[in-house]
Structure 1
Amino acid sequence: MPRFARLIPFVFAACACAGHAAALPDRVILVGDSTMASTTGYGDALCARFTPETACINLARGGRSSGSFRAEGRWDEVQGLLRDGAGFRTTYVLVQFGHNDQPGKPGRSTDFATEFPVNMARYVEEARTLGAQPVLVTPLTRRSFKAGYVHNDLAPWAGAVRGIARSTHTPLVDLNALSLAAVQAMGPKEADKLARSGEHFDYTHVGPLGAERFARIMAQELARQVPALAPALRGQP
């Protein structure tokens, strides 16, 4: 048998393996607090904007900070998923904290100078170590107006996340800036429509309308900042 003929089966096998690898889906894991979590945040609405073959897992939980999410073992769950990532082309881990890291929240608050930035950088490092692509997200703005302007009390935490993204060369979705601009343009009356209704109304969490609005902003910016993930996103859920 000619030498070339003997190589043909190996060439086809290599092509088949390459084709299988290219066909693997992406996976997205959401890590954060109540403004990303199911029911109270935009996370589920964001997951609905991915193509059906893309796995999107919302592990964000209400009341968690960059410290308590890890202390409760929830990051261990994420790491377990990352270790079992052979069925996915790339796993993207979106990390958003800040609301519960603020002072005055016993068991959740973190020190702005010595703990919060260390915690966020550690999420980035550990996600990369396990082969994932971390994406940092600045905290969703609250919708409280003072003298006609949105009071952005999360600005320092958003700034810290931007700095970590720069220093670690991590993609950033600046949701704080984008949501602030959107809410400011709406004004307080329209912005109130983004909240949960009835007894659950507040200026932090979102109802269905707010979830869709901020999920759309997230999806658009995510496609811009992480172009490799853009094909997995669709315009409407």
Structure 2
Amino acid sequence: MKNVLIAALIGVGGIAHAEEGARLRVILVGDSTMATKSGYGDALCARFKPEVACLNLARGGRSSKSYRAEGLWGQVMTLLRDRPVGQTDVVLMQFGHNDQPGKPGRSTDLATEFPANLAGYIEDVGPTGARLVMLTPLTRRSFDAQGHLTNDLRPWAETTIRVAARHHVPAIDLNAISRDAVQAMGETDADTLAMAPKPASAPAQATSSSERAGAANPAFDRTHLGAKGAEFFSGMVAEQLVSTLPALKGWMR
């Protein structure tokens, strides 16, 4: 991982000098936990200075498979290939939630498809000159009867880290960091991070996502984020991003 970070720091040398007229564009790619209205992406964009073009292209219900299949990745690649001279592009990518089993047209095999899909994205970005940072999937906020946070996304997180290391791309383990933070705050406080207030008697299905293939439903669940959750996790991502790519610090508010 040390070599990955060194490579990343060398690669972002052109980002640091905003005063010399350099331009920065940040593109967010992922699922509903990053997307507008249901994730932390817009709040993360707001943490950059106004001169940074931050595009939240994450979409609800998408996986590493369907994001490409639906043509969304093609739109990102068009942006990267048409990058103006003097502009640096940074792509933040997070998948995993919808790659899990049971989601027709979206789920991928953890051992074969998921790592191959991530590698394909990395290989696409390389020739464009953009900087790619992989993020492991944001934790869900479901606790068991003993008060322990369940983390069935961990295998997808670990696969993301392995693929990133193999391809010398920096990775932020958001899954581990967010899991530890939510475990520390406990279920009652964690429930205040949801899209809607917890009902007086929350049904069992509220512990998981009610996300359709298009967008998250504006209801209480323990996957998606309201304004408080978006602010909390966007701060976490921003801190980790600057730690991973220190040259970005000068572009943050």
Instruction: Flag whether TM exceeds 0.5 (same fold).
Output: yes
Give the aligned partner of residue 162 of structure 1.
161
1:27 pairs, out of 25, 28, 34, with 25
**Aligned residues of 2:63 and 2:107 also touching (Cα < 8 A):** yes
Higher CA-based Rg: 1
| Runs of 4 or more above 3 Å deviation | 19-22
Partners of 1:37 and 1:20 lie apart in 2 by: 27
2:234 pairs, out of 211, 215, 225, with 215
Partners of 2:47 and 2:18 lie apart in 1 by: 25
Partners of 2:86 and 2:162 lie apart in 1 by: 30
What is the percent sequence identity of the aligned residues?
57
Summarize the Cα distance change of 1:20–1:187 in structure 2 as closer, same or farther, 3 Å threshold: closer
Give the aligned partner of residue 7 of structure 2.
none
Partners of 2:104 and 2:89 lie apart in 1 by: 33
Equivalent residue letter for 1:92: V
Q: Within 5 A, what are the aligned runs for 1:106-121?
A: 106-121=104-119
Q: Within 5 A, what are the aligned runs for 1:76-225?
A: 76-146=74-144, 147-198=146-197, 200-225=219-244
**Aligned residues of 1:24 and 1:87 also touching (Cα < 8 A):** no
Partners of 2:49 and 2:123 lie apart in 1 by: 28
**Aligned residues of 1:27 and 1:88 also touching (Cα < 8 A):** no
Partners of 2:80 and 2:110 lie apart in 1 by: 28
| CA apart distance, 1:125 | 1.5
Equivalent residue letter for 2:230: A
RMSD: 1.5
What are the Cα deviations for residues 191-210 of structure 1, in whole angstroms up to 9, with x where unaligned? 00000115600010000000
Partners of 2:91 and 2:55 lie apart in 1 by: 10
What are the Cα deviations for residues 105-151 of structure 1, in whole angstroms up to 9, with x where unaligned? 00100111111001111111111111111100000000000121110
Summarize the Cα distance change of 1:125–1:81 in structure 2 as closer, same or farther, 3 Å threshold: same
Q: TM-score, normalised by structure 2?
A: 0.83
Equivalent residue letter for 1:230: K
What are the Cα deviations for residues 182-230 of structure 1, in whole angstroms up to 9, with x where unaligned? 1001000000000011560001000000000000000000000011222
| CA apart distance, 1:52 | 0.6
Matched position secondary structure for 1:113: coil
Q: TM-score, normalised by structure 1?
A: 0.88
Give the aligned partner of residue 51 of structure 2.
53
- The answer for unaligned runs of 5 or more in structure 1 is 1-18
| CA apart distance, 1:87 | 4.7
Matched position secondary structure for 1:100: helix
Give the aligned partner of residue 38 of structure 2.
40
| CA apart distance, 1:88 | 4.7
Summarize the Cα distance change of 1:104–1:23 in structure 2 as closer, same or farther, 3 Å threshold: same
Structure showing greater relative contact order (alpha-carbon pairs closer than 8 Å, 6 or more residues apart): 2
Give the aligned partner of residue 8 of structure 1.
none
